[in-house]
Structure 1
Amino acid sequence: MKLQPVFNYPKAFRDPDSFVEYHGEMVPDPYQYLEDPDAEPTKEFVEAQNKITYPFLKSAPSREYIKATLTAMLNYPKFSVPFREGEFWYHYYNPGLRNQYIIRRTKSPDDPNEEAEVFLDPNALSEDGTISLSSLSFSKDGSICAYGISEAGSDWHVICFKNAVTGEELPDKLRKVKFSSADFNKEGTGVFYACYKDSKSGTSEGLRDQKLYFHRLGTSQDEDLVVMELPDNPEWIFSSHVSDDFRYLLAMPMKDCHHAQVYIADLTNWSPEKPFPVFQHVVKDFDHQYSYVANHGSRIIFRTNRDGAVNYKLATLDLDSGVWEDLIPHHSQDVLDFCQPLAGDKLVVCWLKNVQHFLQVFDATSGQLVYSFDDLPPCGTIQSFQCRHDETWFFFKQVTFTSPGTIFKGEVISSDEGQPAFPFEVYREINIPGVRSKDYEMTQVFYPSHDATKVPMFILSKRLPNNLKNGNQPTLLYGYGGFNHSLMPEFSITWIHFLSLFGGVVAIANIRGGGEYGRVWHEGGKRLKKMNTFKDFIAAAEYLIKENYTKPDKIVIQGASNGGLLVAACCNLRPDLFGASITRVGVLDMLRYHKFSIGHAWIDDYGSPEEDKEMFNYLMSYSPLHNLRKLPGGQEYPSILLMTADHDDRVLPFHSLKYIAEIQHLMGHQKRPLLIRVETRAGHGKGKPTGKVIEELTDIWCFVQITLALNVSKTMDF
């Protein structure tokens, strides 16, 4: 299909008097007015852009087939791992195309086909499916449920309560909650939670003044007890946890997304009528990460990277003596990804080795290895592991690139020799009609980056009788590279659908900035080393070309949020290397990102332009918005589709709006399209209803088909 030679893009007003000063340098910001999502000029600009974008996307010759096959692929039963609360076993469930997952329950976990009772159905809360569940917790005896609901994809949610025995909805509602769930006290009479109840900050401004509260059921939220507040540090946010034995409340204020101080309060003799006990401040700096695992009396077990444990370890803190000791030491190569307490004195540890999970069990007192789950299929991800610290049952779910999941059920069994056994069996296989794992193959490669660092990458393709390396394969290259987040071998209907439509390959690059190899890998792609992230991704594309998989005009790159920053920066650095780019809810203005919503918590990863001249210059060197330019000699940027949403209150839509206004201003004459799709009643991505997911993915593949001039293989039979 030939591209339209010229697009008549809307002319956004450029304010010649809008500047921001950094270290004596005046930086033009002509579209700063677009930062207000509710202003009329912003609304008019969005409407004008959508009037160009949507007709273009609807013009794809195979649109109906793309949408029909995607809908068919998504129409399969989806199950989470079961978990026990009180006398019931709960699980998340979607029979196929429901907009939101349902929570169901049964009396027994033994029969996966037992008829289940619907406990919570968010689909009944809105006609368009845009109200979703955001959190779920239960009282100790399972009689009261606290659940969060979010509207239109917002990070803001309301915590509601339900009597799990009678099914009665309780009148309590906790509002202005963000980045917090609810933890019950031992008696089940109330919950600890964090919210911005007294904050003056709104949707767009930087979030301030979060406090930790206790809410007593049956009372007004206005009467809630302030458990902890830090008025001298209004931008810090609270992570809190009630210990498994309900003895302690752990409050962990964070100034970024990773590092926390730790306060611990003993709840043994406390009741809501009494003054709250004094917190013990056990970690007073922000140098390391801490997450609660379990406790045996006053001996608290943390997963942490303190004391040089760059791949994490389990360490214990004795609250009585204040002494820290290693329980499971740091491993020089494998990353300790997560840990769950089991059967009183066991710890299930999930390790990350070359971007693949494996499970082991350790003694919680001695730290000695007890058991290894050696019989699991290779190259998988443990997506969920459910157990209880004081019971012997366990369930876990393993997924791969080609399988949506196998749920296993197991039990800890004591033996006469004293060495426990951990037998497990398949509990449920999740299958998609018409999609067979054996029809696909996955290869993991390690390619050299600009500084000779070996970077892992997964290459997924259909199993073909002929050679895949013909230099002409349609290629989807995906990356993230930030915030210590690892891209694991997980099933994605998006990637399977791409291969079914276009053939070719899907490549997932595990670039620096992620957590695939622990703290060193993360820090190798953040702050003044952020350029490594982009160069790793560029090297991935160069590897695919060198190995004769593909060529530049057959490559589409895709990333979301921090991954949106990635693909936009790479388009600026190497516009010649890619045919198309999909930037979803991207962080694109690196001089202003930290002034809105939760952006200040990202400074640890990105740095702030205000902190010093060096950091300002570094951010200016790659900020996607500030590095757009008019390309010389008839060169063009790749075809670009930006995607954002009007209710995204994490990465606000102004990032994408400013970027599209500037690139259309500079390069609106090029033949390749420069488009933005602004979704309504949607947020950053979490809780998006199935109907909107189908429309969004259909639009993405239509954009890819048109801009890369791809033929669709109409061989799927559903």
Structure 2
Amino acid sequence: MDLTAPDVGGTRPSYPDTRRDDSVEVLHGVEVADHYRWLEDPDDPEVVAWAARQQRLTEDTLGGVKSRPWFDAALTAQTTRPRAGMPVWREGHYLISRNDGTQPQPIWYRADTLEDLLAGGEVLLDPQAWDTAGTASVSGLALSRDGARLAYARNDAGSDWQSIHVRDLTTGQEIGTPITAKFTAPTWLPDGRSLLYTTFDHGAQVRGTDTTGLGSARLMVRREDGSDEAFLSFPEEPQAMAHGQVSADGTHLIVSIVTGTERVNRVWVYPLVTAGDRTTWGEPIKVVDVAEATYDPIRLDDGTLTLLTDADAPMGRVVSVDLGWAARGDVQFAEVVPETRATLAGAVAAGAGLLLDYLDDASAAVLYVHRDGSGGVEVDVPSGALVGLDGRPGRTEAFAALSTLSTPSTSFRLILPQTPGEDVVVERLELLPAGGEPAEPAYTPQRRRARSADGTLVPYFLAVPKDGRAGPRPTLLYGYGGFKIPVLADYRPGWAAWLQAGGALA
């Protein structure tokens, strides 16, 4: 396909009229005109009709593009590729999501051994059974500590609102009534009968088109009898939100408190007591009570909490704190892994140590260290964008997943050493049946740098098809700048099809 050849001509499309009204809002004493405020209600018949006219214009215009059938076939070949997520181990079960390429949503599978999972496993959750339109999806799941119950979060029609369900894995029956939640992952307390979740004051409407203000976030506990118990909220801080994770030994709940989308947080640690089938908690140890930096909890061992932070280290470092001293008001952080020139993008508790995810000049590098920071060894994974990393304290098995511009996620099993300094064994996993793969685009990846207005050199990737043609060619330029989320050279179906068509990608 020659993207440089003229493909469609004619006159400029006639765009539908968009009504302007006289809406004015006073913000901090300033009148702000908002002529298109009426478009914010997606259920308004006038807005529905306006969107339909825009859709017709788009289809009429693109229908005249001669190469559209070819590109449609190339893109379809990519979007219908069979794909699989990265395996994880949870409470005695191996879990994975798979899609045969034709399903609107991936299906979750489980098995008792990795070998059984690679052979197929058994269906755990199939969203296609919930919604014939294919708009219901799984946004999170968690197994109880005894592996007997599954909590999963379901989203419908693209909404951020979730309904959390509990299923008995022995009988297959749903337990209790669903929980309305948002921006949360279901978290079991050690009793295996109580669920921690986040919800908001205004949670009655769970549609994606609902534009009602959320109100205050509330961290709640759903008990087995169906009652909801308040855990933590900040009514005086309407944008504050808390999320919790239980330590591997079940002795503490580590709560991160954020405000809005700021990349700083507080960290409170609650001691947990489980008696019989009920977990309760004590007063929090306020490890970080002033949000001035990012503190991401990694693991808790023998009263020592390990965290990833950018405090006094913009590229990231790992620190630890003694909870016994912190409970007495003496919070002192000890450095575990110092800052380097590469960005420490993430850290995972695994085995007796930590798997560290570095971005070295925008390329992935994985390091394994003992939990005290000693014995660092590089994990020999192939080049590409790291799209998954998972492990568990005390388990010598972990998983990583990488992708490239032309290939979806490829997963690897990591066998971790029990002696600091020994190598990590890396095994590639075959998670899908062979055959039926579309032709991968042949391209040359290049590393480039662009100079920004203030002189800063910004690294980027340039992918150019190997078709032998010189000179200018249509180029997609993609970038992103929010929430400390880097753009990596990973797989996206549209990018692979674009490269196959002869376009370049920056």
Question: Structure 1 length normalisation: TM-score?
Answer: 0.64
Question: Is 1:51 the counterpart of 2:59 in the alignment?
Answer: no
Q: Is the 8 A contact 1:291 1:303 kept in 2?
A: yes
Question: Is 1:346 the counterpart of 2:350 in the alignment?
Answer: no
- Residue of structure 2 in register with 1:443 after alignment: 446
- Residue of structure 1 in register with 2:495 after alignment: 495
**Shift in Å, 1:421:** 3.8
Provide the C-alpha distance between the structure 2 equivalents of 1:372 and 1:262, rounded to a whole number of angstroms: 30
**Shift in Å, 1:42:** 2.5
**Shift in Å, 1:273:** 6.3
Provide the C-alpha distance between the structure 2 equivalents of 1:356 and 1:67, rounded to a whole number of angstroms: 31
Q: Is the 8 A contact 1:408 1:424 kept in 2?
A: yes
Q: Is the 8 A contact 2:8 2:64 kept in 1?
A: no
SS in 2 for 1:33: helix
SS in 2 for 1:194: strand
- The aligned amino acid for 2:334 is D
- Residue of structure 1 in register with 2:4 after alignment: none
Provide the C-alpha distance between the structure 1 equivalents of 2:63 and 2:70, rounded to a whole number of angstroms: 12
Question: Is 1:290 the counterpart of 2:295 in the alignment?
Answer: yes
377, 381, 396: which one aligns with 1:371: 377
Provide the C-alpha distance between the structure 1 equivalents of 2:278 and 2:96, rounded to a whole number of angstroms: 36
Question: Is 1:204 the counterpart of 2:211 in the alignment?
Answer: yes
Provide the C-alpha distance between the structure 2 equivalents of 1:212 and 1:271, rounded to a whole number of angstroms: 23
Question: Is 1:481 the counterpart of 2:481 in the alignment?
Answer: yes
Question: Is 1:264 the counterpart of 2:269 in the alignment?
Answer: yes
Q: Is the 8 A contact 1:85 1:141 kept in 2?
A: no
**Shift in Å, 1:58:** 3.1
Provide the C-alpha distance between the structure 2 equivalents of 1:402 and 1:2, rounded to a whole number of angstroms: 28
SS in 2 for 1:478: coil
- Residue of structure 2 in register with 1:105 after alignment: 110
Question: Is 1:456 the counterpart of 2:455 in the alignment?
Answer: no
Using the aligned pairs only, state the percent identity. Answer: 24
Q: Is the 8 A contact 1:402 1:491 kept in 2?
A: yes
Provide the C-alpha distance between the structure 1 equivalents of 2:54 and 2:407, rounded to a whole number of angstroms: 38
**Shift in Å, 1:271:** 7.5
- Residue of structure 1 in register with 2:240 after alignment: 236
321, 324, 335: which one aligns with 1:327: 335
- Residue of structure 2 in register with 1:504 after alignment: 503
Question: Is 1:13 the counterpart of 2:43 in the alignment?
Answer: no
The 5-angstrom pairing of residues 239-638 of structure 1 reads 239-257=243-261, 258-268=263-273, 276-306=281-311, 308-322=312-326, 323-343=331-351, 345-365=352-372, 367-373=373-379, 375-378=380-383, 380-414=384-418, 419-428=421-430, 433-436=437-440, 439-467=442-470, 470-471=471-472, 473-501=473-501, 503-507=502-506
Query: Structure 2: 5+ residue runs without aligned partners?
Result: 1-6
**Shift in Å, 1:157:** 1.0
SS in 2 for 1:309: coil
Provide the C-alpha distance between the structure 1 equivalents of 2:500 and 2:278, rounded to a whole number of angstroms: 62
Change (3 A) 1:300 1:230: same
**Shift in Å, 1:32:** 1.9
**Shift in Å, 1:288:** 1.0
Provide the C-alpha distance between the structure 2 equivalents of 1:23 and 1:113, rounded to a whole number of angstroms: 59
SS in 2 for 1:73: helix
Change (3 A) 1:458 1:391: same
**Shift in Å, 1:2:** 4.5
- The aligned amino acid for 1:474 is P
**Shift in Å, 1:276:** 4.5
Provide the C-alpha distance between the structure 1 equivalents of 2:418 and 2:203, rounded to a whole number of angstroms: 53
**Shift in Å, 1:268:** 2.6
**Shift in Å, 1:466:** 4.2
- The aligned amino acid for 1:481 is G
SS in 2 for 1:480: coil
SS in 1 for 2:265: coil
Provide the C-alpha distance between the structure 1 equivalents of 2:335 and 2:369, rounded to a whole number of angstroms: 10
Provide the C-alpha distance between the structure 1 equivalents of 2:189 and 2:495, rounded to a whole number of angstroms: 43
Provide the C-alpha distance between the structure 2 equivalents of 1:457 and 1:230, rounded to a whole number of angstroms: 41
- Residue of structure 2 in register with 1:37 after alignment: 42
Provide the C-alpha distance between the structure 1 equivalents of 2:116 and 2:143, rounded to a whole number of angstroms: 23
Higher fraction of helix:
1
SS in 2 for 1:171: strand
Q: Deviations over 1:186-225 (max 9, x none)?
A: 12011111112565888213321211111113x23xx210
SS in 2 for 1:180: coil
Q: Is the 8 A contact 1:270 1:276 kept in 2?
A: no
Higher fraction of strand:
2
**Shift in Å, 1:113:** 4.4
Q: Is the 8 A contact 2:396 2:418 kept in 1?
A: no
SS in 2 for 1:34: helix
Q: Is the 8 A contact 1:94 1:100 kept in 2?
A: yes
**Shift in Å, 1:370:** 3.1
Change (3 A) 1:199 1:465: closer
- The aligned amino acid for 1:428 is E
Please report the RMSD computed on the Cα atoms of aligned residues, expressed in angstroms.
Answer: 2.4
Q: Is the 8 A contact 2:307 2:319 kept in 1?
A: yes
Provide the C-alpha distance between the structure 2 equivalents of 1:237 and 1:414, rounded to a whole number of angstroms: 38
Question: Is 1:74 the counterpart of 2:73 in the alignment?
Answer: no
**Shift in Å, 1:301:** 0.8
- The aligned amino acid for 1:453 is T
Change (3 A) 1:89 1:158: same
The 5-angstrom pairing of residues 147-166 of structure 1 reads 147-166=152-171
Q: Is the 8 A contact 2:201 2:214 kept in 1?
A: no
Query: Structure 1: 5+ residue runs without aligned partners?
Result: 508-718
Change (3 A) 1:170 1:60: farther
Provide the C-alpha distance between the structure 1 equivalents of 2:9 and 2:26, rounded to a whole number of angstroms: 41
- Residue of structure 1 in register with 2:199 after alignment: 195
Change (3 A) 1:12 1:127: same
Question: Is 1:93 the counterpart of 2:98 in the alignment?
Answer: yes
SS in 1 for 2:477: strand
46, 60, 68: which one aligns with 1:63: 68
Provide the C-alpha distance between the structure 2 equivalents of 1:30 and 1:466, rounded to a whole number of angstroms: 48
Q: Is the 8 A contact 2:296 2:307 kept in 1?
A: yes
Larger RCO (CA under 8 A, 6+ residues apart): 1
Q: Is the 8 A contact 2:443 2:466 kept in 1?
A: yes
**Shift in Å, 1:493:** 1.7
**Shift in Å, 1:419:** 4.9
- The aligned amino acid for 1:402 is S
- The aligned amino acid for 1:210 is A
Question: Structure 2 length normalisation: TM-score?
Answer: 0.90
- Residue of structure 2 in register with 1:677 after alignment: none
Change (3 A) 1:208 1:330: farther
